[in-house]
Amino acid sequence: MNVLFVNSIGRNKFGGGEKWMVNAARGLGARNHNVVIASKKNSRTIEYARSKGVSTKVFEIRGDLSPLTTLRIAHYLKQHNIDILICNLNKDVRVAGLAARLAKTPIVLARHGMLLCSRKWKHKVTITNLTDGIITNSRTIRDTYSQYGWFPADFVKVIYNGLDIPEKVEPYNFAARFSRKKIIYSAGRLSGQKGFNYLIEAAAILRKERSDLLFAISGDGKLEDDLTNQIRRLKLEDTVALLGFSDDINPMLKGCDLFVLASLFEGMPNVVMEAMAMGKPVVATDVNGARELMGTNESGTECNTGIIIPPRDPQAIADAIRSIIDSPSALYTLGQAGYERVKNTFTTEAMVSNLERYLLQTLSEKTAPISGLRSY
């Protein structure tokens, strides 16, 4: 197959969706498919893809309508005989998806790592006309889309994220900077979606009770100044540390005691999977995919890899942390269960196999009635 991924996320933005795309491209490439990732010039996505040996192409998609960019992409699709185009954002579907229709590219797919399609008419028109399906990473997203009544039963395909568990990770030495502290760690873009303001409020609640906790946050973004001011206003300079962006958070995960996801919404939160892979227990808000990833009992109320809490609730975050942070045995047991769950269910190999199988099947079904096309 010849596959092109298009992702027009901002140059300085990089998250789970971008990691998934690079891992998927690298995995398909290792199976002798020709795969390219297209993004903005000098973007973190391009840089990360190149660092992983993935071929890249620059396309500047800035809005929903860009005739010249559409024509350039259409030319590229024809020139390189692209079989499958996979788009990340809605504007990618509108610009690149239209290009694929002009170029008669066999398959166009949207990849939704979170709820990107609402009931707005423009989403219905573009998704139903410019794509042949949606790949998502969560049953909850698939079930939400099924309620819209727009799509055939098999239009939305769930393919879980996956990762490679590193054989050896040297733990970050938090003690060198924060001696005699228990480390509660979090990571992500410093944006409203990630709920770091609620995590900082939880830190303030616990700071009134004790001084031996350190909340460390990796990431950068537009809310950095706001969060810094919140830390100062609450006098938490000795309790909350903003560590900045890191393209490899495994050492911090390995060196912390507990990971917290405070997000208001997600798809399948990659960072939770990464924490579990490092053997760390997780406190996570009840957002799309968290329960599927962490695993719950049949009633969906209990989880053996961590604690699931409601979003926008600093008290719930504080209570969850308080309930396990002083029990080494509980932290270890939850962390080991998370590690085993990722190792057995959420590997890159499994993800790439499922993706490859789906792409080949979709391409075969689309091209089978037409004679003279390439065989796969």
From first to last of the 376 residues of the chain, give the pLDDT tens digit.
999 999 999 998 888 889 899 999 999 999 999 999 999 999 999 999 999 999 999 999 999 989 999 999 999 999 999 999 999 999 999 999 999 999 999 999 999 988 888 899 989 999 999 999 999 998 889 999 999 999 998 999 999 999 889 989 999 999 999 999 999 999 999 999 999 999 999 999 999 999 999 999 999 999 999 999 999 999 999 999 999 999 899 999 999 999 999 999 887 888 999 999 999 999 999 987 888 899 876 555 578 999 999 999 999 999 999 999 999 999 999 999 999 999 988 999 999 999 999 999 999 998 875 544 444 4
**CATH number of domain containing 34:** 3.40.50.2000
Total tally of structural domains belonging to the chain? 2
What is the DSSP secondary structure assignment for residue 189, as one 8-state letter? -
Query: Is residue 64 domain-shared with residue 200, that is, in the same domain?
Result: no
Q: Is 88 among the domain residues?
A: yes
Q: Can you give the pLDDT at residue 247?
A: 84
CB 240 within 8 A of CB 350: no
CA dihedral angle for residue 149, residue 152, residue 155, residue 158, rounded to 10 degrees: 70
CB 182 within 8 A of CB 212: yes
Q: Can you give the pLDDT at residue 296?
A: 77
Q: Can you give the pLDDT at residue 299?
A: 52
CB 235 within 8 A of CB 245: no
- Of the candidates 37, 48, 38, 42, the residue with the CA atom closest to the CA atom of residue 14: 48
| Paired tokens of 137 | 């990473």
Q: Can you give the pLDDT at residue 300?
A: 55
Q: Can you give the pLDDT at residue 372?
A: 45
Query: Is residue 190 domain-shared with residue 287, that is, in the same domain?
Result: yes
- Of the candidates 258, 12, 264, the residue with the CA atom closest to the CA atom of residue 114: 264
What is the domain extent for residue 99?
A: 2-162+347-367
Q: Is 39 among the domain residues?
A: yes
Q: Can you give the pLDDT at residue 303?
A: 86
Q: For 243-266, how does the pLDDT look when each residue is reduced to its tens digit (9 = 90+)?
A: 999 989 999 999 999 999 999 988
Query: Is residue 95 domain-shared with residue 126, that is, in the same domain?
Result: yes
Q: Can you give the pLDDT at residue 373?
A: 46
Strands 84-87 and 258-261, bridge-based pairing? unpaired
Query: Is residue 223 domain-shared with residue 333, that is, in the same domain?
Result: yes
Q: Is 133 among the domain residues?
A: yes
pTM: 0.79
Query: Is residue 43 domain-shared with residue 26, that is, in the same domain?
Result: yes
Q: Is 167 among the domain residues?
A: no
Strands 182-187 and 306-309, bridge-based pairing? unpaired
